[in-house]
Structure 1
Amino acid sequence: MNSLEFDYLKQALYDRSGLVVTPEKKYLIESRLMPIARRHGMDNVGKLVEQIRKTRDEAGLAQIVEAMTTNETLFFRDGWPFERLRTSLLPEIMSMATASRRIRIWSAACSSGQEPYSLAMTIAEMGPRLAGWEVEIVSTDISDAMLARAQAGRYSVFEVSRGLPEAMLQKYFVPEKDGWRVKDSLRKMVSFRSYNLLEDPVSSGMGQFDIVFCRNVLIYFDEATRRRVFASLAKTMRPWGYLCLGGAETVVGISDAFRVLAGERGLFGLAR
């Protein structure tokens, strides 16, 4: 790619997904976009980008955004968010939502579905303590391909070996020829929809949530985009809501819509 092609691609990715790419990431761009270039009969990424730039091909840009989106995930990633959900977050929310007896959890940037299914397993394991409560897990991602995978609930032997306890595998999955499939009883606890974190959640009809998981995605955004996303997330949260970020992510110095919780890392309350 020449500088014109790179600058165009950089701006297009930023405008459509908030993703920031630098010249040092050219190797990543080349490796992820070369398969698309070949499908279009081109022998290099520069030609692909130049054609899309000249023709203003939105479908082609959508393919590029999807290819550049990082989809690294695993079951029960980091462990602590799911433990906090079980031991403190859900009990506290239940004490605040006794009138509706309804809890809504948003798994944003859910990738291939390991996070929302981990949330569903955590909730299912609580059993009688949630009797009479409606718990809804809404999962979103910008990638239609990842959403299709998540909805199918099918995972390879390698994928279920990453973070998923054997007891959970046997209880909530059924074996298939090339891997495992999430049982229908668990899949019914999770809904999936396409959503770009740069959208306005109110006009998009996301509704209100008690807990928002938005983990390990904002590290790919610049500060201005993080500020914009935090403001949007705050709009969707009930007064007692919690925001769960990745362990290396924070709202400090970026958003005053959330408050730091003493002794917690990656977990924030809605400002009161």
Structure 2
Amino acid sequence: MNVNDFEYIAQLLYQRSGLVITQEKAYLLESRLNPVARKWDLDGFEALITAMRTKKDEQMIVDVTEAMTTNESFFFRDTRPFDQFRDIVLPHLLEARKAQKKLRIWSAASSSGQEPYTIAMILKELAAQMPGWTIDILATDLSKEILSKAQEGLYSQFEVQRGLPITLLMKYFTQDGDRWRINDEIKKMVTYRPFNLLDSPAGLGTFDVIFCRNVLIYFDQETKGQVLDRIAKIMPGDGFLYLGGAETVLGISDSFEVIPGQRGVYRLTGSDAALELKVG
């Protein structure tokens, strides 16, 4: 790939999704874009880039952007964030919201649905502790194709073996040929819609808990800060933000601060309401 083609597609991906592609990651272009080229009956990803330059077909650009931004996910990824949510954050919010009996949770960059369905299963397991509560789980992603997979709720044997306890597999999934389909009672707990994290989330409403895990690592520092500052505006004073294990707010945004003893979960800077959160 010549330098001009690389710079063209790198700039396009940055403008459309915030994704930063360096020369060291140029190999990803071939592996992820060759299938898109075949879809458009083109001879390889270089022919695809040429067609993008000349035709400027919006659907082709969308297909390329989605192919480059679709990342893997799995159930109960990294385990600890979901233990924190179940054992620390959720009890705190159930007490703080006992008058309203309503919680809203956002799974941003939800990919193929494993994260929001994990949250839904945790809440379903604790349903006896929440009689009369209304809990909304919104899951969003840039890719409409991956959202369709998430909404279908159909996973391979490999996908359900990655992190999903066998007890929950047996309880909330049914076998469908050589794959597993998540039950409707879990599926209906999650609402999916397309959303680009480069846009303002103000129209999505306010969320008590936001999972924005393992996506900021693909952005540059400036874009990370912008995303975090926009997220801060749609959280109540005692809301919680989850980032991935390799992500941080330090040196990026002043809107959030670390909760002592709780790696990966953050609160709004200066939040008094969350100071009673247990640590350890």
TM-score bracket, normalised by the shorter chain, equals over 0.9
Partner residue of 1:218 out of 216, 219, 222: 216
Identify the residue that residue 84 of structure 2 maps to in structure 1: 84
Write the distance in 1 (CA, Å) between the matches of 2:192 and 2:73.
Answer: 16
Write the distance in 2 (CA, Å) between the matches of 1:47 and 1:78.
Answer: 39
Write the distance in 2 (CA, Å) between the matches of 1:250 and 1:182.
Answer: 32
Secondary structure of the equivalent of 2:200? Answer: coil
Q: Shift of the alpha carbon at 1:242?
A: 0.4
Deviations along 1:203-245, one digit per CA (max 9) or x if unpaired, are xx20000000010111111101101110111111111110000
Q: Shift of the alpha carbon at 1:94?
A: 1.8
**Structure 1 stretch 38-47 or stretch 173-182: which is displaced more?**
38-47
Deviations along 1:89-133, one digit per CA (max 9) or x if unpaired, are 111112222332100000010100000000001111112211111
Q: Shift of the alpha carbon at 1:263?
A: 1.1
Write the distance in 1 (CA, Å) between the matches of 2:39 and 2:205.
Answer: 39
Structure 1: gaps (5+ residues): none
Secondary structure of the equivalent of 1:209? Answer: coil
Identify the residue that residue 64 of structure 1 maps to in structure 2: 64
Identify the residue that residue 230 of structure 1 maps to in structure 2: 228
Partner residue of 1:240 out of 225, 238, 243: 238
TM-score (norm 2): 0.94
**Identity %, equivalent residues:** 50
Contact 1:2 1:46 in 2 (8 A): no
Deviations along 1:119-170, one digit per CA (max 9) or x if unpaired, are 0011111122111111111000011111001101111111111100010001
Alignment of 1:130-141 (within 5 A): 130-141=130-141
Structure 2: gaps (5+ residues): 271-280
Secondary structure of the equivalent of 1:240? Answer: coil
Q: Shift of the alpha carbon at 1:84?
A: 0.9
Identify the residue that residue 276 of structure 2 maps to in structure 1: none
Q: Shift of the alpha carbon at 1:66?
A: 0.7
Secondary structure of the equivalent of 1:73? Answer: coil
Contact 1:116 1:190 in 2 (8 A): yes
Is it true that 1:173 corresponds to 2:188 in the alignment?
Answer: no
Identify the residue that residue 189 of structure 1 maps to in structure 2: 189
Deviations along 1:49-104, one digit per CA (max 9) or x if unpaired, are 12212232221111001111142111000111111111111111122223321000
Contact 2:66 2:143 in 1 (8 A): yes
Contact 2:111 2:141 in 1 (8 A): yes
Identify the residue that residue 96 of structure 1 maps to in structure 2: 96
Q: Give aligned pairs, total.
A: 270
Secondary structure of the equivalent of 1:82? Answer: helix
Write the distance in 2 (CA, Å) between the matches of 1:162 and 1:78.
Answer: 10
Write the distance in 2 (CA, Å) between the matches of 1:213 and 1:167.
Answer: 24
Secondary structure of the equivalent of 1:98? Answer: coil
Contact 2:70 2:146 in 1 (8 A): no
Is it true that 1:128 corresponds to 2:124 in the alignment?
Answer: no
Deviations along 1:13-69, one digit per CA (max 9) or x if unpaired, are 000000000111221101111122233332232221122122322211110011111
TM-score (norm 1): 0.96
Q: Shift of the alpha carbon at 1:182?
A: 0.7
Deviations along 1:164-208, one digit per CA (max 9) or x if unpaired, are 001000111111112111111111111100001101111xx2000
Contact 1:244 1:267 in 2 (8 A): yes
Is it true that 1:265 corresponds to 2:263 in the alignment?
Answer: yes
